[in-house]
Amino acid sequence: MPIYVVLFTFVSLVLVLGIIVFWLVNLQFSTFKRPPNLRFMHLARVTFAPPATGAVLASVPALLAAVGLAAVRGAQLFSDVSADWTEGEVTAAGSITQARGRLGLVLIVLAVTFLQHGAEAITSQPSEEE
């Protein structure tokens, strides 16, 4: 999750530095007696806020999934039920194997859900004219 915030902040920083360099070059070659000032705080507010907000909003579903996964992983759901109906009693090793299998199934379901919602988000919908 933090990599997105760092990445978008870095991109914003590069943009701001590019604008500052552009402003400095224009300041050097300007023929005005009083060239305009660089309003850095206004520029930073406009440039840094949207990518940071986007990174935080994009990480909300992943955070919710991680919290849900931690809750499922910590719970002893169906720990006393055998995975195979022919088995009689659940042993400790069998219980661990079954818990890992349920965790894997939860991860697969989460991955498919994320892929489905991501595909729906990036797929363009036809307009009314088409």
Residue type, 42: H
pLDDT averaged over 10-residue windows placed end to end, the chain, 130 residues: 70 79 84 76 74 76 80 66 65 76 81 85 75
Q: What is the DSSP string of 5-66?
A: HHHHHHHHHHHHHHHHHHHHHHHHT---SSPPPP-HHHHHHHHHHHHHHHHHHHHHHHHHHH
Q: Is the pTM of this model over 0.85?
A: no
The size of the chain, in residues, is 130
Going from N- to C-terminal start, the domains of the chain cover 1-58, 76-130
